[in-house]
Amino acid sequence: MFSPLTVTLIVLAYMALLFAIAQFAEKRAEIRGPKTHGPWVYSLSLAVFATSWTFYGSVGLASQSGLLFFGIYLGALIAIACWWIILRRMVAAKETFHITSIADFISTRYNRSQPIAAVVTLIALIGSLPYIALQLEAVISSFNLITARGTEAGVGGLTGLLVTLVMAIFTILFGARRLDPTERHPGMVTVLAVECLVKLVAFIAIGLFVTLSVFGGVGELTERLFEGDLQHLTLVHSDHGNGFTWLTFIVLSFAGVQLLPRQFHVAVVENPDQRYIKTAMWVFPLYLILINLFVLPIAGAGLVSGLPVAQADFYVLLVPQRAGEELLTLLTFLGGYSAATAMVLVTTMTLATMASNHLLLPLLERIPGLQRARGSLLQVRWLMIVLILLAAYWFAAEFGSAYLLVTIGLLSFAAVLQFAPSMFGGLFWARGNSAGALLGLCGGFLVWFYTLALPTFVRQGWIDPSLLSDGPWGLSLLRPEALLGVEGLPALSHSVLWSMVVNIGLYVLASLVYVPHKSERTLTNEFLASMHPNSQRYRARSTGLEAYIGLEPKMAEAEALLTKYLSPDKAYLAVNGIAEDLRLIGKSEISIIELIEFHRMLEHVLAGAIGAASAHHAIEASIRYSDREASDLKALYSHLVSELHGQHLTTRDTASGVKSGKSTTDHYGMINELQRTIEEQQQQLAAQEAQIASLEAKLEGRYEEIFNFRLEAQRLRQENELLRHELGAIRTSTGNAGETPGGASNG
């Protein structure tokens, strides 16, 4: 046993070390840029998926249900194998639209819909709150176990409140210390990687201790596992698990490893390079296998030691503690603490960002007296972090002995599963639209709440128990745990089945019936095009239009907009950074297309602070165009459309519009096709230039040959002339010699 003061000081020292590591990573990022952490740090940070539910709960579940615990990781392994198709598309869209959360992603896909962003945020808050409560309960209970207080202290009380406040400070320091327009946190990602290594080392250490000390080696451990007293640990099926439960676990983990708010943030938002995904596709699965390698030995050691099955979740701590291994017990506690704090850090920070961007900010925009609070967005996030953790603490204290916390991780997974149809449908199905996404999300979540959350309130005594046995108003077909007469399924499987039937059904039906507005179709095609592996992003287009728009007023307008949400210094730097990227520095006037690009990049910067949906609406509400600018925009747009019609650059949406008898030409798709055509022509031009250069080289060689030939001809001509002169001289001298003797004789 340790004294509470000793454990507290050790935890504070550990947090101070993590803070120093985070500071080092932040300073390094300022020098090296966003890719300061490599693929290994990125891959290890993804192991935030392994929370205290993994560290403690897997052993507890294995003690009762054998191999069933591995189902929650089997689905994750299947999902990771598909990441080069799924996750890479998410990262590509994030880079194009500057997405900062899963609510931002889904709402951006569906016409930047603020209602959809709000619904996703509410689902994430309600679904994640119990899971955060589980982490707090794990930390508080493990603290009580290794100190003199014991488990009877419970979750409530001063210890629980202090742990909650420490978690809040931890989250603010590492994840919300400043308002970053990029929403990337290299220091936090590095800390996550370190914590993931700590919990892995701790779990392997206790596993090796159990295998070599308690059981005396791998051989004896294997024999004991297959003997009668521990044989149930190796069974695939047991009284607590069946085929439906296995399938449910696999489906939940397949979606959860990609759609849990913390997983989306770490895997998508914090991804600095798509190539890192390839490393993560083998490092992360290896991590999951290693951290589950000793689950069965630890569960067996707890049972062999005679520890109560009711405390099976904490066999990881109790086994070394009973053996008198204090250092190993302390290391195990730090491993569990790391598992819990990593989850709380990312989840709470992400939820606070989503809540402030998609719930509070739209409210502040609509209430005139509260608009000044937009400049205190960072402080609003701090307040949201504290409120979320206090709500989770209340939940843990109130439902500490209820049914829900027994399988709380899976129940939160079931809530997050409601994102799957709109997310995966949005990635691969162009017909999916905002109406289908909104109805599917609302319908699926209501079914989840009715079939899983409501029974918990009944068992807590808040609602009449007859609701479960007789149904509302005596309608047995509406019983929450036997909806429409479907009985015999585990409660979790029953809820997942009906929520997915309703969610997918509404999503598909509404998407097929509802005809979205032209702007939504355009954004859909833009979104899908951004996920193409060869898509070109942030391309500045050349213009031949007149530069007549004053740059300074537009920059002042943009800076005034950013100042509502960012500090004046950051707003100034952001606006000047955009101008520098577009090569506008030094210009007094710009063209209309340069203005379009300026506003486009301004929206990207603003999206990093308040989300894409809110940023789009803020741009629409705050940015003004003069009559001439608006006229030029329309003329330019019409000109592009008319020119592109002659090239037959149409999209699938155009074809569907022709079939329906409506003109639904997708102008963005045409422009995108034109850009690809221009790129192909540029490649052809480059090839022709290379061919011309080769021909010029050959021609230069011919010129040189001709020059040499002329030199040789001139030399030969000179030699011929010289020979003629010499021959003439010889002939002259010969003639003179013949005349002299004759003359003498004549004389």
pLDDT, tens only, 700-727:
888 788 878 877 888 888 888 888 888 8
Residue 677 lies in a domain: no
pLDDT at site 48: 92
Given 631, 659, 687, the domain boundary residue is: 659
Cα angle 71, 76, 80 (rounded to 5 degrees) comes to 150
Q: In whole angstroms, how far apart are CA 261 and each of 160, 553, 679, 698? A: 25, 39, 38, 63
Higher pLDDT among residues 663 and 431, named by residue: 431
What pLDDT, on a 0 to 100 scale, did the predictor assign at position 291? 93
**Full residue range of the structural domain in which residue 100 is found:** 4-22+51-408
Q: Does residue 644 sit within a domain? A: yes
The conformation of residue 402, written as its DSSP 8-state character, comes to S
Among 603, 629, 659, residue at a domain's last position: 659
> Residue written as tokens 């022509």?
681
Structural domain contains residue 645: yes
CA-derived radius of gyration, the chain? 36
Q: How far apart (Å, rounded) are the C-alpha atoms in residues 444 and 255?
A: 15
Out of 659, 681, 706, a domain closes at 659
Helix (H) or strand (E) holding 559: helix 551-563
Q: Given the structure tokens 């979104």, which residue do they identify?
A: 527
Alpha carbon distance 408, 397 (integer Å): 14
Q: Is residue 353 part of a domain?
A: yes
Whichever domain contains 126, its CATH number is 1.20.1730.10
Q: Are strands 549-550 and 589-590 parallel, antiparallel or unpaired?
A: antiparallel
Q: Are residues 529 and 402 in the same domain?
A: no
Residue 464 in tokens: 């009449």
Residue 62 shares a structural domain with residue 194: yes
Rounded distance, CA 427 to CA 102, Å?
13
* 403 within a domain of the structure (yes/no): yes
* Cα angle for residues 92, 94, 98 (degrees, 5° grid): 135
Residue 236, Cβ neighbours under 10 Å: how many?
14
Question: d(Cα 193, Cα 189) in Å, to the nearest integer?
Answer: 6
pLDDT of residue 403: 44
- State how far the Cα of 213 lies from the Cα of 227, in Å rounded to an integer: 19
| pTM check: above 0.85 | no
Query: Measured in whole angstroms, how far is the alpha carbon of residue 426 from the centre of its chain?
Result: 15
Distance CA 246, CA 265 (A): 27
Distance separating the N- and C-terminal Cα atoms of the chain: 155
| 319 occurs within a structural domain | yes
Residue type, 316: V
Once rounded to an integer, what is the mean pLDDT over residues 266-289? 92
CA distances from 417 to 111, 492, 736 (A): 22, 12, 122
97 and 232 assigned to the same domain: yes
Residue 550's H or E segment, with its range, is strand 549-550
C-alpha–C-alpha distance, residues 355 and 377, integer Å: 11
pLDDT band at 180 (very low <50, low <70, confident <90, very high): low
On whether both 65 and 189 belong to a single domain, the answer is yes
Task: Quote the CA–CA distance of 18 and 12 in Å, as a whole number.
Answer: 10
The number of domains in the chain is: 2
Here the tokens at position 140 are 């508080």
Query: SS3 of 549, please?
Result: strand
- Mean pLDDT value across residues 25-29: 81
Highest mean pLDDT among 66-70, 196-200, 464-468: 196-200
* Tokens 């192991």 sit on residue: 47
Answer yes or no: is pLDDT of 87 > 90: yes
Domain assignment of residue 635, yes or no = yes
Q: What residues does 237 pair with on adjacent strands?
A: none
Residue 63 lies in a domain: yes
Identify the three-state secondary structure at position 590.
strand
pLDDT tens profile 285-330: 999 999 999 898 898 888 888 888 878 888 898 888 888 888 998 9
Q: For residue 746, name the pLDDT band (cuts at 50, 70, 90).
A: very low
Both 403 and 527 in a single domain?
A: no
Q: Could you tell me if 449 and 457 are in contact, meaning their C-beta atoms sit under 8 angstroms apart?
A: no
Query: What pLDDT, on the 0 to 100 scale, is given for residue 639?
Result: 58
DSSP code of 660?
T
Give percent of the chain with pLDDT exceeding 90.
Answer: 25
Q: Give percent of the chain above pLDDT 70.
A: 83
33 torsion bin: left (phi>0), alpha (psi -120 to 50), beta (else): left
Same domain (yes/no): 285, 141: yes
